[in-house]
Amino acid sequence: MGDIIFLLVLLGLTFLTGTFIEKRHFENIKKREIALIKRPIINFGAKTWHTNRKIKKVELVTGEVVISGDYFKNFVASLKNIFGGRLTTFESILDRGRREALLRMREKARGANFIINARIESVMLNETYNAQESVPQCAIIAYGTAITYE
Amino acid sequence: MNKNLEERYLNVINNNVNVGNSNAGVEFVILIAGLVAILFLLYIFADAIGCFVIDRMSNETRMKIENAFSFGMKPRVNERNNDIILLESIKNKIIPLDKNLQGKSKFPIYEIPEKGINAFITPDGRIFFTEGLLNQVKDEEMLTFVLAHELGHYAHRDHLKSMSRQIIVALISSIFSTGNNDIDMTIGSISDLNGLTYSRKQEREADKYANRIVYILYGNNKGAVDFFKLLEKKEKSPEFFQYFSTHPSTKQRLKLIQKRR
């Protein structure tokens, strides 16, 4: 009996803290995205890129995020293992991670005019061993080439 | 043109389509309800199979299983011969009343050194009375009720039934176990609660059975009512506690007994 009470308390607590933290994170992301809305422009497609203007600086910019769900989110997701369906609790995690990574990359390239050949990659960090026991963790890396005109 | 583009970007930032709108808490409640429903159906299925098989089991098979499952409790040598002799004589009055009790176990009665008021029967039909119960209950009608309650468990084959449903459900739930500790724990806890509900149902059935026996023997159920009143005096835990316990609350049991005439 003690087990289930402990579990319920833990779930309730992590639900509250998780919701609070996620809400704050989203607000933070929105604020930063709006601040960065003009610059630098990101280009995801072109392999080759031409310009007639003189270039001052070319550099690699990266943004990395390692993100994990909270206890409640993981619990709901593992319940979904039985019933199937969209893992909505992980969707928000992934969205947060991706936007945060892109933001970090763009913040690194502050002052640049363009980021060309930007790419996003993701890696599961805990897949190799004992994946059942540990928390699902996801690393998201955004990288590109920042170009600054003279 | 540029203005339009900016507005579109702002729109994308504010209305995120990548995240579901559903509330995680609501989702959690729905999923747990689904899990409970599945387990509930599973238990109905297990009950049906268990009762079907056990009610049709021959006596030899039944006794073989019961002997295999009985725990090897070493009873203390009986010092209070008077009590045991009284109980034996009551037992000999009860057994001719029910065909289910005849020709099976001999129902030996033992006393165990324990302070609380309790009595229980092992699957193979050995009955144990605690020292506390024998000290505090001297009335023959009350003892008859307790003894008939324990024999009722045996007559209804309650041990086998609760064991069989646990085995069947454990077997099936191990198939759709996800290997996740939390989920296994949740399933285990739901099963525990369900098992407690089932146990309370069995206790009520045994109470009714014992009540019937007391009526046949004495023409009234004063012994049963007295016994529960005694228990009520000793009991301190609040009423809602019964949902986490193997027995219904004494108040409810008293009500059940008083209602039946």
- Provide ipTM, 2 decimals: 0.77
CB distance A79–B18 less than 8 Å?
Answer: no
The backbone torsions φ and ψ at residue B39, rounded to the nearest 5 degrees and listed phi first, read -65, -35
B2-23: per-residue pLDDT in tens? 778 888 888 888 888 888 777 8
Residue with tokens 């689904």: B34
Strands A41-42 and A114-124: parallel
pLDDT tops 90 at residue A28:
yes
CA neighbor of A93 nearest in space, from A117, A114, A72: A72
Average pLDDT, chain B: 79
Mutate to test the interface with B, among A21, A79, A86, A135 (most CBs of B within 10 A): A79
pLDDT confidence band for A26 (50 / 70 / 90): very high
Distance CA B240, CA B233 (A): 17
CB distance A7–B6 less than 8 Å?
Answer: no
- Residue B90 burial (C-beta neighbours within 10 Å; 0-12, 13-18, 19+): buried
> What is the number of domains present in chain A?
1
Which pLDDT does position A45 carry in this prediction? 74
Angle in degrees, 0-180, between the axes of helices A71-83 and B24-55, rounded to the nearest 10: 50
Q: Is the pTM of this model over 0.80?
A: no
> What's the average model confidence in pLDDT over B120-131?
81
Which pLDDT does position A20 carry in this prediction? 94
Q: Please give the share of chain B, as a percent, with pLDDT higher than 70.
A: 87
Cis link prior to B75 (omega < 30° from 0)?
A: no
B175: closest CA of chain A, how far (Å): 11
pLDDT tops 60 at residue B1:
no
pLDDT tops 70 at residue B168:
yes
Distance CA B194, CA B243 (A): 10
**Secondary structure tally for chain B: helices H, strands E:** 10, 3
Instruction: Print the SS3 string covering B142-201.
Output: HHHHHHHHHHHHHHCCHHHHHHHHHHHHHHHHHHCCCCCHHHHHHHHHHHHHHHHHHHHH
> What's the average model confidence in pLDDT over B147-153?
85
Residue B177 CA, distance from chain mean position: 25
B149: closest CA of chain A, how far (Å): 27
The backbone torsions φ and ψ at residue B106, rounded to the nearest 5 degrees and listed phi first, read -85, -5
Which pLDDT does position A63 carry in this prediction? 94
The backbone torsions φ and ψ at residue B223, rounded to the nearest 5 degrees and listed phi first, read -60, -45
A94-138: per-residue pLDDT in tens? 899 999 999 999 999 888 888 888 899 998 877 655 555 556 788
The verdict on A72 touching B (C-beta cutoff 8 Å) is: yes
Mutate to test the interface with A, among B29, B175, B181, B189 (most CBs of A within 10 A): B189
Distance CA B186, CA A79 (A): 10
B173-230: per-residue pLDDT in tens? 777 666 667 777 778 888 888 888 888 888 888 888 888 888 888 877 777 788 888 8
CATH for A142: 3.30.110.70
pLDDT tops 90 at residue A43:
no
Which pLDDT does position A50 carry in this prediction? 79
Distance CA B141, CA B227 (A): 9
The verdict on A5 touching B (C-beta cutoff 8 Å) is: no
Which pLDDT does position A126 carry in this prediction? 72
**B contacts of A74 (beta carbons < 8 Å):** 182
pLDDT tops 70 at residue B76:
no
pLDDT tops 70 at residue A4:
yes
Strands A137-149 and A55-68: antiparallel
B230, B254 in Cβ contact below 8 A?
Answer: no
Higher pLDDT, A91 or B247: A91
Distance CA B232, CA B259 (A): 17
Range with the lowest mean pLDDT among A18-32, A54-68, B102-116, B123-137? Answer: B102-116
Distances in Å between the Cα of A81 and the Cα atoms of A44, A78, B11, B245, B248 are 35, 5, 34, 31, 36
pLDDT tops 80 at residue B29:
yes
Domain enclosing residue A60, as ranges: 2-149
